Chains A and B, each alone.
Chain A
């Protein structure tokens, strides 16, 4: 058996389990790989059913070389996450064509488990976890089939045994998961493409950047407030601050990390916990303005909070913010003033002229700001998710021609006009608002809540937050995106206001996903530390953990071993004997006890004499029992009849 050839059933199981574990990769892999997989599976099944020979070695070598070349052409490399996964899937597929004995099959099985792991590089959601659990279940059943193919186990039995063994492995898995000493990865360098495909804010903003982002339902972060939630108009989550305008887009320019500027808080503080989704950038989002630093991060001079390393996994941090504050009121340095007034030469002439006109009419800097906001408010400016394209002079184009735009257009035009009028200003991007999940009582901030606003510097007041979008569409800031744009807009499904039941379902689901994120995916060294300190293991070193781990693992294994091997000493019980004992007990309760030396027939004779009106029943039971136990009679019906008669007996 262990060098045995594989039969058709094995081949069918192998292809099924392989297809199951590679299927989720199909949407990400180039189409030709899926096509190849389908072809190879078909080919292998054809070979198995027609009992043909496997392809020759040279043909396989050619296929492997061609497929590797194909992967190289598709990805431009053979190293890295995506191409590595593609290569793994291709090799696993081609291995089917070489698979002829148990050894090959076991290698395919192990590779299949590995493919399941690679799936988690892309997605670790609950549905993925469930799908992969099914995959592991079937792969394990396949492995059982390989070991039992002489004994014709039915597929239900294989699946049942596989499920049972996996379920029994669960307690051990839980212990290992909780207690295995967690090390913060990575152990070695990650391929450059390891975190591609995550969405989020970037260090520049051009027309269309944020409106594109607002089409995404993806969660940016979740927030759990301790105590009362701030008002919606205070929910400005600060992100990249953009200083440098090149005429078309805004950039961060030079950032200064290190000493944070001081500010004087006004009013109470808000405390909350943020669970930030990985976005492969360094920003840690906090409400304007954060009062403390997250460990391993720094403030920049313009109050961006930057993690020391890019956020590549879900990160959880405690934060405190002051929603009213005075910042930078001591004055600007010359350098800061120059940066806050920078404008590119040779662009947007009409906007510059407009700013100079307004400047002349304005009493002071604040009045200048009011005039610009008044213009947005009173003239025909529109707030839309799908703004028309802008030409070579985007600010001019926007202010005088299209007049409809998303938050980035308004923030950009506003800061431009302020700077042109000699008022220091900068663009701040981040998220505005958030959706309260009543099920889990936390706030979800999605990519669709991405926002851009402005900060203007005034003498003595310092940096003041101004949201020009609020001038155009107050609803955007007070009630969110859905309220601010017409219903026909191409809003992401989840950001829409209608369909109340759908929202309920969604809230429940997100609440579940949040717990999953917090406790399963976000289980990190800190959480482990916290959990251990809760059970009285403060300052648990990895040595202590290892000892506890080994002890609990041994204990669980011993308990299982005892339970399973005890099973062995339990003899199979004859149902007839059980029923007969019940019959004897019934009579014993009435005082007719069967002596150890008494055979069933002599006992029946004695009982008959004692209960003459039940003689027939006693005889029938005794007769059935003897026939079942020692005679030819067999089968469920006879046992059923005995059971019926014993329970009907009345003495």
Chain B
């Protein structure tokens, strides 16, 4: 399966070929770009908002009233408000133009969690920006402002539904400031990807035994070998192996794990999983095991159908394994 990005675009009301043409010609969208993207004058679009249309209609009524009653000050007021409306076009446009937008790659998350993308919006101009909305394809709209000669970091939270790569996709930046009569907007499509790890299986199944044995429900039976680490206490663990010192420190009940032979590594192996599990269930279980093994600071290796990661420990190794699980089949 391919990168489980955001769900397919909502069905466009116009033929997709036309839409693509518009995207590339008018909106200057040519696929994700590394950024920063400058919101140049050609990239910012502006149209009256629904309030702007009502405002215009109210002004027409006021003009008619002024003519009917020959109200000179009515003309003055109406024309002043017309001027104000036209002025609002420039202000609204300026509120968005010339910003520089770039995206940071977000921290990986597990499926079912929320990915947090970060847009960096720089304002190299001498005009404060107020009331700009960033609208991702999925997830909530975020409103922000950027003072002059400053930058803002905008957190866009997007639900990570499936494992794989979550693309930021197109983000609409829009503003109605200052009067709400016009909406200026620009589309940015930045090259930002969040890696979504598979969801860890719950409830957790016990880790397999080191040495490739199946260790369903059993603690390591090895005797007084070399101490290799701690893991959460499981029912059936010998009380002799409980790490009382750790308990006294308030870490909860932990069992000491010993490894007899140096080469007797913990292998998290795709192929040894029950045949009844499907692909996603297998990845889910392996993910949980990676987390557990990492927590116990045990050296573990990962065996996937087309990738094998040698046993190791540490956060780098953990990320490597989880990434392999996330992108399995991609």
Q: Which residues of A line the B interface, CB within 8 A? A: 1-2, 102-103, 106-107, 110, 113-114, 116-117, 120-121, 124, 128-129, 132, 136, 140, 143-144, 146-148, 150-151, 153, 161, 165-166, 168-173, 176-177, 180, 183-188, 190, 194, 312-313, 520-524, 553, 557, 560-561, 564-565, 567-572
Q: In the assembly, what is the distance between CA of A113 and CA of B143, in Å?
A: 28
B94→A564 contact, CB < 8 A: yes
Tell me which of B77, B94, B180 contacts A120 (CB under 8 A).
Answer: B77
From known contacts A124-B72, A166-B80, A169-B87, infer whether A568 and B179 are also in contact, taking CB-CB under 8 Å: no
CB contacts under 8 Å to A, within B92-151, are 93-94, 97-98, 124-127, 130-131, 133, 141, 143-145, 148-149
From known contacts A166-B84, A572-B125, infer whether A113 and B77 are also in contact, taking CB-CB under 8 Å: yes
Q: Which residue of B lies closest to A520 (CB)?
A: B72
Q: How far is the CB of B254 from the nearest CB of chain A, in Å? A: 45
Q: Is B250 an interface residue (CB 8 A)?
A: no
B72→A114 contact, CB < 8 A: no
Q: In the assembly, what is the distance between CA of A568 and CA of B54, in Å?
A: 30
A567→B94 contact, CB < 8 A: yes
Q: Is B246 an interface residue (CB 8 A)?
A: no
Q: Which residue of B lies closest to A124 (CB)?
A: B73
9 closest cross-chain pairs (CB), A and B = A169-B83, A572-B149, A172-B83, A176-B79, A151-B145, A173-B79, A173-B80, A185-B70, A568-B98
Given A124-B71, A148-B131, A150-B131, list of 9 further CB < 8 A pairs?
A1-B131, A106-B54, A107-B54, A113-B62, A120-B77, A129-B73, A153-B130, A186-B69, A568-B127
Q: In the assembly, what is the distance between CA of A147 and CA of B133, in Å?
A: 11
Q: How far is the CB of B133 from the nearest CB of chain A, in Å? A: 6
Q: In the assembly, what is the distance between CA of A482 and CA of B75, in Å?
A: 40
A187→B80 contact, CB < 8 A: no
Q: Which residue of A lies closest to B125 (CB)?
A: A568
From known contacts A166-B80, A168-B87, infer whether A110 and B54 are also in contact, taking CB-CB under 8 Å: yes
Q: Which residue of A lies closest to B58 (CB)?
A: A110
B97→A565 contact, CB < 8 A: yes
Q: In the assembly, what is the distance between CA of A121 and CA of B148, in Å?
A: 44
Q: Which residue of B lies closest to A128 (CB)?
A: B73
Q: In the assembly, what is the distance between CA of A150 and CA of B146, in Å?
A: 12
Q: How many residues of B are in contact with the other chain, CB < 8 A? A: 55
Q: What chain A residues lie within 8 Å of B143 (beta carbons)?
A: 1, 150-151
Q: Is B206 an interface residue (CB 8 A)?
A: no
Q: How far is the CB of A133 from the nearest CB of chain B, in Å? A: 9
B54→A146 contact, CB < 8 A: no
From known contacts A102-B180, A564-B90, infer whether A151 and B131 are also in contact, taking CB-CB under 8 Å: yes
Q: What chain A residues lie within 8 Å of B81 (beta carbons)?
A: 113, 136, 169
Q: Is B64 an interface residue (CB 8 A)?
A: yes
Q: What chain B residues lie within 8 Å of A165 (beta carbons)?
A: 84, 87-88, 91, 178-179
A172→B94 contact, CB < 8 A: no
Q: What chain A residues lie within 8 Å of B124 (beta carbons)?
A: 571-572
Q: What chain B residues lie within 8 Å of A113 (beta carbons)?
A: 58, 62, 77, 81
Q: In the assembly, what is the distance between CA of A113 and CA of B68, in Å?
A: 18
B70→A184 contact, CB < 8 A: yes
A194→B72 contact, CB < 8 A: no
The prevalent SS among residues of A at the interface is: helix
Q: How far is the CB of B244 from the nearest CB of chain A, in Å? A: 50
Q: What chain B residues lie within 8 Å of A146 (beta carbons)?
A: 180
Q: What chain B residues lie within 8 Å of A183 (beta carbons)?
A: 67
Task: Jot down 17 A-B pairs with beta carbons below 8 A, ordered by A.
Answer: A1-B131, A1-B176, A106-B54, A113-B77, A144-B178, A147-B131, A161-B178, A172-B79, A176-B83, A185-B69, A187-B64, A188-B68, A560-B90, A565-B93, A567-B94, A570-B126, A571-B124
A120→B79 contact, CB < 8 A: no
Q: How far is the CB of B263 from the nearest CB of chain A, in Å? A: 53
From known contacts A113-B77, A117-B74, A151-B145, infer whether A106 and B180 are also in contact, taking CB-CB under 8 Å: yes
Q: What chain B residues lie within 8 Å of A187 (beta carbons)?
A: 64, 67-68
B80→A151 contact, CB < 8 A: no
Tell me which of A150, A161, A180 contacts B75 (CB under 8 A).
Answer: A180
B86→A169 contact, CB < 8 A: yes
Q: Which residue of B lies closest to A521 (CB)?
A: B72
B90→A561 contact, CB < 8 A: yes
Looking at A117, A144, A564, which has the most chain B CB atoms within 10 Å of its CB?
A117
Q: How far is the CB of A430 from the nearest CB of chain B, in Å? A: 26
Q: What chain A residues lie within 8 Å of B87 (beta carbons)?
A: 165, 168-169, 172, 560
Q: In the assembly, what is the distance between CA of A120 and CA of B97, in Å?
A: 39
Tell me which of B66, B75, B97, B180 contacts A143 (CB under 8 A).
Answer: B180
Q: What chain A residues lie within 8 Å of B91 (beta carbons)?
A: 165, 564
A524→B97 contact, CB < 8 A: no
Q: Which residue of A lies closest to B61 (CB)?
A: A114
Q: Is B20 an interface residue (CB 8 A)?
A: no
Q: In the assembly, what is the distance between CA of A521 and CA of B73, in Å?
A: 7
Q: Is B261 an interface residue (CB 8 A)?
A: no
Q: In the assembly, what is the distance between CA of A382 and CA of B287, in Å?
A: 115
A190→B131 contact, CB < 8 A: no
Q: Which residue of B lies closest to A184 (CB)?
A: B70
Q: In the assembly, what is the distance between CA of A522 and CA of B72, in Å?
A: 7
Tell me which of A121, A132, A169, A571 contacts B125 (CB under 8 A).
Answer: A571
Q: Is B51 an interface residue (CB 8 A)?
A: yes
Q: In the assembly, what is the distance between CA of A524 and CA of B176, in Å?
A: 37
Q: Which residue of B lies closest to A118 (CB)?
A: B65
A520→B90 contact, CB < 8 A: no
Q: Is B55 an interface residue (CB 8 A)?
A: yes
